[in-house]
Amino acid sequence: MRTLAIPLFAYHLTHSALSTGASLVCEIGPFSLFGMVGGSLADRLDRRRLMIVCDAIRCAVMAAFAVTYALGMLTMPMIYGGLVIISISAAAFLSAQSSSIPYLVGKDRATEAVSVLVGAENFSNLVMPTLGGALFAIVGPFPALVFNAATYLASQFSLMRIPSLGPEHVHGLPSPRQIRNDIVLGFRTLFGDRGMRAQAGLAFFFNIFGFGAYSILIPFLKRSFGASDRDIGFFLGITAVGALVGTAFSTINARRWPFGRALVIAYAVDAICFLPVVFTRNLWIAAFAWSISSAAASFEVSQIIGFRLRVAPEELVGRVMGAVRLVVLGGMLPGVLFFGWIADHRSAHLAMTMTAWGYVALASVALCIPAVRNEAR
């Protein structure tokens, strides 16, 4: 609900694609930067306690959003600052979560586990944007902010029921020197593996266009189709159906096909199905096309994360994943800024069209990279 309420609220305040995209930058930028430190913490601290603390912080920020909105005091600078805090907490949380997967289920079942996690997220994405869009249209963002704070509280109680998420040996808070060494080791492991290195570089460029497209989605739907807030909620709900299909297929596939071959096919489907979004004049045809593209993207994410968890040494998973996040999410900032500027100063439709053709070009490049296409681990 936050991913719907915050961008909608930002757009209603500013009517700017660039300002709306800036909320995404505040959420993803610190996440990618702090991910390296989060990886060090996840490999050294009690992951269960770390995740509970991160949820408590995020709960407090969302509650503060709700209170200040109710008092008529919530502003864009406050939203940006709060999102930075949420982002840093999310980096540590997800570092602990990803590191716990091989600990709980073993490396061989990592892809299946990741698919289930992504599927659970996409199931809530199926339900909540539709509900959130209707609530936003009727009474504004307040219910979404309150509900989101409550979900972080519920997550804390859920985590308390788990006996352990690892690691086997808890070392305590790392020193600045240890954090620096951990970061270096994470990057050395990432770039020392040909397959992970090739995929990370490709993902950097995919994210320029992917985050660029997502950051201008609300202005694009409103300006090109005249979509209401409720329509946008339904649009996101429809696309979540596709994402659920993609994660389900990833669970079924679970290494039945060679990893590299499955990945480049998914890239091609993602790119081709994205094109109708910018050519159709019908909002719901665009939603259907976006949902198929989302199915391919969810498949890609589940497969790639599962591959990294299989390949990375178990004791270094957090540090390697932190290094990967910095590289692949580095494409987010230029994509959001560039395509947000195009949407504001030219047109949102032109910006979305450029991202669509960019995806087609990158999918073609992926087919030509042996380290991606032929990867079979």
Q: Give the model's pLDDT for residue 109.
A: 84
Question: Once rounded to an integer, what is the mean pLDDT over residues 195-207?
Answer: 93
Question: Is the alpha carbon torsion for 333, 336, 339, 345 positive or negative?
Answer: negative
Q: Tens of pLDDT along 152-162?
A: 999 999 999 99
Contact 33, 315 (CB under 8 A): no
Q: Give the model's pLDDT for residue 130.
A: 63
pLDDT classification of 244: cutoffs 50, 70, 90: confident
Check residue 166 and give left, alpha or beta (phi > 0: left; psi -120 to 50: alpha).
left
Q: Give the model's pLDDT for residue 122.
A: 67
Distance in angstroms (rounded) separating the CA atoms of residues 152 and 158? 10
Q: Which residues, other chains included, contact 70 with Cβ-Cβ below 8 Å and sequence gap of 6+? A: 142
Closest alpha carbon to 48 in 103, 124, 108: 103
Q: Which range of residues forms the domain containing residue 96?
A: 2-161+170-373
Question: Once rounded to an integer, what is the mean pLDDT over residues 48-58?
Answer: 96
The fraction of the chain above a pLDDT of 70, given in percent, is: 94
Q: Give the model's pLDDT for residue 369.
A: 95
Contact 299, 249 (CB under 8 A): yes
Q: What is the pTM of this model?
A: 0.76
| Whole-number average pLDDT of the chain | 87
Counted domains in the chain: 1
R_g of the chain computed on alpha carbons:
20
Q: Say which residue, 24 or 249, is predicted with more confidence.
A: 249
Lowest-confidence region among 135-149, 163-177, 291-305, 327-341: 135-149
| CATH number of the domain that residue 356 is part of | 1.20.1250.20
Most confident of the ranges 14-28, 139-153, 296-310, 338-352: 338-352
> Could you tell me the end-to-end alpha-carbon distance of the chain, in angstroms, rounded to an integer?
37
